[in-house]
């Protein structure tokens, strides 16, 4: 199949294409340049601006030799037939392709999709696959946003993964990063004003969404979303750290993207989803565009407050950003009011934070917010990448936390390996060059010191750190791991079988503090009681004639009452 090469380079006076070791002049049309002759799939090429060094295509779909090498022409195949999926309220599963299997490829990941279906997962959320420097990393320092990581198998392998997931009834969400680009191999500024020097971010100058000549930059992002959602066939995008998207335009880039995605959804006749990672604690993020002045139109957003409450309550950690969490009362607030910081004081931030959530709103519901007890950030940004059940923690505590969030009103998300209490950690890892690599290591050491972490931590640049994160699928059949896997499957069976749990209104859940260590959650058709402490607690008004009762830990059940007698006890009555 033939393709036409074009590139935006407004300031250049001459642009050429290096193709088959020959330079070919491109023709100019305003700020855009076009190679007159078509190119074939598989051909490698680079652009040369004003007789400079050859550079990869900003819209390259494939970088077979990495971020510094030539681009390769790739034409996506038409996605396999798929009716689509409304992802709100579905069971999501976050995965990192490079560590999901020993091989770390899309092809090997396909081999475990049936395991996820058996577990009860309904959609996979794939961490970023845009081309990154080196051979390993989390994906958030990508610099070729249209290209698919070569070590995972490239774009053709990704499309086969998407089609395979759809054939098994699984939706596919892709994590994308529009708030910054990585430092190594980032050649965008050589082509045009992709960055706005007037706005600073933790990663450097902000992406130019509101400065001079911003329209092609905004379109660069919109077209990238179109590639993944329409051309490759994914069902949704998870947008990284949207609070770091600096845009003072009349129409925020998120609102523009939301409007475009709604139009594409009609064109392809299937639901398309946008998920925001936002720490702003403002429901305007999931309010339809036009409904309020600041509405951003996202379908869902991650809710860190729910995670913080569950983690701090069941582990007792209250340092760093957990300092306002950990009590039974904050846990109840998160499950009934969505955010703990909803306009009041945030001790960690040193200011008031967030805004109240209207629990009766018609613009969003509980399923608009994603709950979890582990994710790549909350595990990987710990000094050693330790999971909830590591360091000798009682596995019943994880089981109790899982019962609350998997049967709660929100859209639940499982982090890969969590379902069997994986023994492998998930530390941060990268493969930057000799100049940037040591800087990353030093920076993380300083960051952990501020958070109060003590002791050694794995070097992000060491290959051993990356290897340590790879899941050990064989351990799923071992006793303790198999018990946790069975627990998760049974919880998800209840979730899928009870019609009352389809009620995702923010008023469908009630919670009660039984003691400083115990809470009870009631939803239509299910009651969950958990106790993290040593003192027994009793609940006497259980549902009559339950179809199933799940228990972990020591308890006494007599008639319509139950007494939980040990740390980590949990009882689910459905």
Summary mean pLDDT of the chain:
95
Domain assignment present for residue 108? The answer is: no
The range of the structural domain enclosing residue 547 comes to: 512-573
Q: Are 287 and 295 in contact (CB under 8 A)?
A: yes
Mean pLDDT over residues 199-208, rounded? 89
CATH number at residue 39: 2.60.40.10
Is the pLDDT reported for residue 160 higher than 90? Answer: yes
pLDDT in tens, 302-318: 999 999 999 999 999 99
pLDDT in tens, 390-435: 988 899 999 999 999 999 999 999 999 999 999 999 999 999 877 7
Burial 431-447 (b: 16+ CB within 10 A, else e): bbeeebbeebbeebeee
Domain assignment present for residue 68? The answer is: no
Q: How far is CA 499 from the centre of its chain?
A: 28
CATH number at residue 551: 2.60.40
- Catalytic member of 57, 175, 240, 304: 240
CB atoms within 10 A of CB 19: 18
Domain assignment present for residue 26? The answer is: yes
Q: For 347, what's the count of Cα atoms within 13 Å in the CB-facing half-sphere? A: 8
- Note if 277 is an active site residue: yes
pLDDT in tens, 426-476: 999 999 877 777 777 777 777 766 666 667 789 999 999 999 999 999 999
**Boundary of a domain, candidates 55, 76, 97:** 55
- Note if 240 is an active site residue: yes
- Catalytic member of 247, 277, 324, 503: 277
Mean pLDDT over residues 67-74, rounded? 98
The span from the CA of 158 to the CA of 97, in Å, is 10
pLDDT of residue 362: 96
Domain assignment present for residue 50? The answer is: yes
**Boundary of a domain, candidates 55, 78, 95:** 55
- Count of domains forming the chain: 2
Domain assignment present for residue 43? The answer is: yes
Count Cβ atoms within 10 A of the Cβ of residue 557 and give its class: 0-12 exposed, 13-18 middle, 19 or more buried. Answer: middle
Domain assignment present for residue 553? The answer is: yes
Domain assignment present for residue 333? The answer is: no
Domain assignment present for residue 540? The answer is: yes
**Boundary of a domain, candidates 55, 78, 94:** 55
């Amino acid at each position: 199949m033939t393709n036409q090469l074009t590139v935006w380079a407004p300031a250049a006076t001459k642009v050429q294409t290096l193709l088959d070791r020959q330079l070919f002049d491109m023709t100019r049309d305003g700020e855009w340049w076009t190679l007159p002759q078509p190119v074939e799939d598989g051909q490698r090429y680079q652009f040369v601006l004003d007789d400079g060094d050859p550079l990869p295509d900003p819209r390259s779909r494939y970088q077979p030799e990495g971020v510094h090498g030539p681009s390769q022409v790739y034409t996506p195949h038409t996605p396999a037939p798929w009716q689509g999926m409304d992802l709100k309220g579905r069971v999501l599963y976050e995965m990192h392709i490079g560590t999901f299997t020993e091989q770390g490829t899309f092809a090997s990941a396909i081999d475990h999709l049936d395991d996820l279906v058996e577990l009860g997962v309904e959609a996979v959320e794939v961490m970023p696959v845009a081309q990154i420097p080196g051979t390993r990393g989390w994906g958030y320092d990508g610099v070729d946003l249209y290209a698919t990581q070569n070590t995972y198998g490239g774009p053709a392998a990704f499309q086969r993964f998407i089609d395979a997931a759809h054939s098994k009834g699984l939706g596919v969400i892709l994590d994308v990063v529009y708030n910054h680009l990585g430092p190594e191999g980032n050649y965008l500024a050589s082509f045009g004003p992709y960055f706005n020097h007037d706005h600073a971010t933790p990663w450097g100058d902000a992406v130019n969404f509101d400065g001079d000549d911003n329209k092609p930059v905004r379109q660069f992002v919109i077209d990238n979303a179109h590639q993944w959602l329409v051309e490759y066939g994914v069902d949704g995008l998870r947008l990284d750290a949207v609070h770091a998207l600096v845009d003072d335009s009349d129409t925020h880039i998120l609102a523009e993207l939301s409007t475009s995605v709604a139009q594409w959804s009609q064109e392809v006749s299937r639901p398309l989803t946008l998920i925001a990672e936002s720490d702003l604690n403002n429901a305007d993020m999931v309010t339809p565009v036009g409904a309020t002045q600041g509405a951003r139109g996202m379908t869902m957003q991650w809710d860190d407050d729910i995670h913080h409450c569950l983690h701090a309550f069941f582990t007792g950690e209250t340092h760093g950003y957990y300092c306002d969490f950990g009590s039974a009362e904050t846990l109840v607030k998160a499950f009934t009011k969505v955010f703990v910081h909803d306009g009041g004081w945030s001790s960690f931030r040193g200011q008031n934070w967030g805004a109240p959530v209207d629990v009766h709103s018609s613009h969003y519901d509980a399923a608009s917010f994603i709950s979890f007890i582990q994710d790549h950030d909350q595990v990987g940004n710990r000094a050693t990448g330790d999971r909830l059940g590591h360091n000798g923690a009682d596995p019943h505590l994880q089981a109790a936390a899982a019962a609350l969030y998997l049967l709660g009103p929100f859209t639940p998300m499982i982090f890969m390996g969590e379902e069997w209490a994986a023994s492998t950690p998930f530390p941060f890892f990268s493969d930057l060059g000799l100049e940037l690599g040591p800087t990353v290591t030093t920076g993380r050491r300083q960051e952990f010191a501020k958070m109060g972490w003590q002791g050694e931590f794995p070097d992000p640049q060491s290959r051993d750190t990356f290897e340590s994160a790879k899941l050990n699928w064989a351990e799923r059949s071992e006793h303790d791991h198999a018990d946790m896997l069975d627990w998760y499957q049974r919880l998800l069976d209840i979730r899928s079988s009870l019609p009352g749990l389809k009620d995702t209104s923010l008023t469908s859940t009630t919670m009660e503090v039984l003691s400083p260590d115990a809470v009870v959650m009631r939803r239509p058709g299910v009651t969950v009681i958990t106790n993290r402490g040593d003192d027994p607690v009793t609940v006497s008004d259980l549902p009559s004639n339950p179809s199933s009762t799940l228990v972990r830990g020591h308890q006494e059940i007599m008639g319509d009452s139950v007494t939980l007698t040990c740390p980590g006890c949990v009882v689910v009555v459905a």
